[in-house]
Amino acid sequence: MAIRERTALGGLAVLFTASLACASADLSAAFAPPRAAAVPAAEFAAPRPEPAQQWVAPTEGEISSGFGERWGTTHEGVDVANEVGTPVRAASSGVVIDFGPASGYGLWIRIEHPHDIISTYGHIDAGFASVGQSVRTGEVIATMGDRGHSTGPHLHFQIDVAGVPVDPVRFYAERSAELVG
Tell which residue, 181, 177, 170, has the closest CA to residue 67.
170
Quick one: 116 and 165 in the same domain? Answer: yes
pLDDT of residue 37: 47
pLDDT of residue 26: 52
10 exposure class (CB count in 10 Å sphere: 0-12, 13-18, 19+): exposed
Quick one: 71 and 157 in the same domain? Answer: yes
pLDDT of residue 46: 52
Return per-residue pLDDT of the chain as tens, 181 residues: 444 444 444 444 444 444 444 444 454 555 455 454 454 554 445 555 556 789 999 999 999 988 888 778 887 999 999 999 999 999 999 999 999 999 999 999 999 999 999 999 999 999 999 999 999 999 999 999 999 889 899 999 999 999 999 999 999 999 999 999 7
Q: Please indicate, yes or no, if residue 92 is contained in any of the structural domains.
A: yes
- Other CB atoms closer than 10 Å to residue 135's CB: what's the count? 21
Quick one: 14 and 93 in the same domain? Answer: no
pLDDT of residue 175: 94
What's the rounded Cα separation, in Å, for the pair 89 and 68? 23
Counted domains in the chain: 2
Q: Give residue 7's domain range.
A: 1-32
pLDDT of residue 154: 95
108: domain CATH number is 2.70.70.10
The pTM of the full predicted model, rounded to 2 decimals, is 0.71
Quick one: 21 and 94 in the same domain? Answer: no
Quick one: 19 and 96 in the same domain? Answer: no
Question: What's the number of CA atoms in the CB half-sphere (13 Å) around residue 58?
Answer: 34
Q: Please indicate, yes or no, if residue 57 is contained in any of the structural domains.
A: no
Quick one: 108 and 24 in the same domain? Answer: no
Q: Please indicate, yes or no, if residue 43 is contained in any of the structural domains.
A: no
pLDDT of residue 145: 96
